[in-house]
Amino acid sequence: MGTRPALGDRLRAALDRFEPPPRAVDWSLFAFVVAEAATGLVSFTVGVPEGWPLFWLHRALGVGIVTLLAWKLARVRRQLTDPGRWRRSTALSVLTLLAALGALATGIAWVFGLDVRISYWTLLSVHVGFGLALVPLVAAHATTRFRLPRRVDFERRRTALRYTVLLAAGGAAYRLQQGVNDALDTAGADRRFTGSQPRGGEGNAAFPITSWVADDPDPIDRDDYRLRVGGLVRDPVELTAAELAAGHETEALLDCTSGWYTVQEWGGIRVGDLLDAAGGVESGAGIDAGPTDRDPAYVRFTSVTGYRWSLPIDEARDALLATHVGGERLSHGHGAPARLVAPDRRGFQWVKWVTRVEVRSEYDLGQWVVTLVSGVE
């Protein structure tokens, strides 16, 4: 009479059978980390609900990394715990492991609504820091023990099955977490699909002042302030702060990539009206001439600090140059005398302290660099 193995042993045996060959684990980890960094970075530019699959992919990949890392650690643990086997590359391995654990831990803590803040650095910002550090670390780590993948490591059907199961399990784990968060009513429960947590209330005091890296200008004198509207318009004009307070109101959601969002009533002037005040846009050539390089296509908003962002012209017309929030005049920190309100765009695109509005024909690639370094001397 044979005894049946215990459930735990059978489960472990099943997991072992599911475990890919070592080289496949290594390459998958590398691919998952790269994909994780890519989905994370791209998600920063997404503000519309249709972009949800990107955020789910990021989460599922994250849970997948936990599993891959567990397999890898089980295999290499002696190299780490036995001083006799330490090499120079071991330090790099440990550093890579710490960055991975840091990114995973902060990501998981954020999902459960933990809200630790150091000035405007949220746990989500720390998560991003670990994630960005991980990319060069993983790349360097991979070169110290580079082995080309072999066909046998990635036998087609099994590999496809494993990846599907891994990602599905990741998605299921995330779904399960939502249930737990809802049941316990944690701060993680009312995060937006972007992962951002709500900041309630109305007006200047209701939400944090967030500047990307180093933008921190002196307050702008309201009486001296002029907004220049130029570029491909018929009659470039300069407007005063009082002229911008035209009383047009719109409710819009500001969602910052550092992990918070707020819904406010913004007041000011529609950008379309602003362009009309400058005589309307100047069409390039005749109507029949087809697209020319002088056709108005974008509106660029530039801050007194040089920070800038552009919107396609049709979207820009419906955007607001705001002088007020929640019925109050905008405070300096929130961009007085005027800031861009760009619904469905992420917070970093809502340029504060706007002094220049230009209609342009070309896409402004430089804005990606300028928003990162603006204010750094």
Ligand X SMILES: Nc1nc2c(c(=O)[nH]1)N[C@H]1C(S)=C(S)[C@@H](COP(=O)(O)O)O[C@H]1N2
To the nearest whole angstrom, how small is the minimum distance from the Cβ of residue 239 to ligand X? 19
To the nearest whole angstrom, how small is the minimum distance from the Cβ of residue 267 to ligand X? 14
Query: Which single residue is written with the structure tokens 């999902």?
Result: 111
To the nearest whole angstrom, how small is the minimum distance from the Cβ of residue 316 to ligand X? 16
Question: Segment 334-353, which members bind Mo ion (CB under 5 A)?
Answer: 347-348
Answer with the entry of ligand X, Mo ion, none that 296 interacts with (C-beta below 5 to 8 A by kind). Answer: none
Span interacting with ligand X, options 34-42, 131-139, 203-211, 241-249, rule CB under 6 A = 203-211
Question: Contacting ligand X (CB under 6 A), which of 128, 256, 271, 357?
Answer: 256
- List the one residue out of 15, 16, 21, 32 whose CA is nearest residue 147: 21
Taking a C-beta distance cutoff of 8 angstroms, is the pair 37, 57 a contact? no
Tokens of 369: 């660099």
Neighbouring residues of 156: CB distance < 8 A, sequence distance ≥ 6: none
To the nearest whole angstrom, how small is the minimum distance from the Cβ of residue 299 to Mo ion? 21
Instruction: Supply the DSSP string of 315-374, one letter for each residue.
Output: HHHHSEEEEEETTEEPPTTTTTT-EEE-TTS-GGGS-SSEEEEEEESS--TTHHHHHHHT
For 142, the enclosing helix (H) or strand (E) is helix 123-144
> What span, in angstroms and rounded, lies between the C-alpha atoms of 48 and 50?
5
Strands 320-325 and 339-341: antiparallel
Q: For residue 215, state whether it binds ligand X (rule: CB under 6 A).
A: yes
To the nearest whole angstrom, how small is the minimum distance from the Cβ of residue 201 to ligand X? 13
Answer with the entry of Mo ion, ligand X, none that 303 interacts with (C-beta below 5 to 8 A by kind). Answer: ligand X
Question: Contacting ligand X (CB under 6 A), which of 70, 161, 209, 285?
Answer: 209
Question: Contacting ligand X (CB under 6 A), which of 79, 177, 211, 250?
Answer: 211
> What span, in angstroms and rounded, lies between the C-alpha atoms of 359 and 355?
14
To the nearest whole angstrom, how small is the minimum distance from the Cβ of residue 326 to ligand X? 12
Size of the site for Mo ion (CB under 5 A): 5
Question: Segment 159-178, which members bind Mo ion (CB under 5 A)?
Answer: none
Q: For residue 350, state whether it binds ligand X (rule: CB under 6 A).
A: yes
Q: For residue 301, state whether it binds Mo ion (rule: CB under 5 A).
A: no
For 263, the enclosing helix (H) or strand (E) is strand 260-270
Taking a C-beta distance cutoff of 8 angstroms, is the pair 60, 170 a contact? yes
205: number of Cβ within 10 Å: 11
To the nearest whole angstrom, how small is the minimum distance from the Cβ of residue 264 to Mo ion? 15
Q: For residue 196, state whether it binds ligand X (rule: CB under 6 A).
A: no
Q: How far is CA 231 from the centre of its chain?
A: 30
Answer with the entry of ligand X, Mo ion, none that 266 interacts with (C-beta below 5 to 8 A by kind). Answer: none
Question: Contacting ligand X (CB under 6 A), which of 47, 188, 272, 347?
Answer: 347
Answer with the entry of Mo ion, ligand X, none that 215 interacts with (C-beta below 5 to 8 A by kind). Answer: ligand X
Binding mask 293-322 for ligand X (x = CB under 6 A): ----------x-x-x---------------
Answer with the entry of ligand X, Mo ion, none that 301 interacts with (C-beta below 5 to 8 A by kind). Answer: none
Buried residues in 132-148 as b, exposed as e (16+ CB within 10 A): ebbbebbeebbeeeeee
Please give the residue ranges that form the binding site for Mo ion (CB under 5 A). Answer: 210, 256-257, 347-348
Please give the residue ranges that form the binding site for ligand X (CB under 6 A). Answer: 207-212, 215, 256, 303, 305, 307, 334-335, 347-348, 350-353
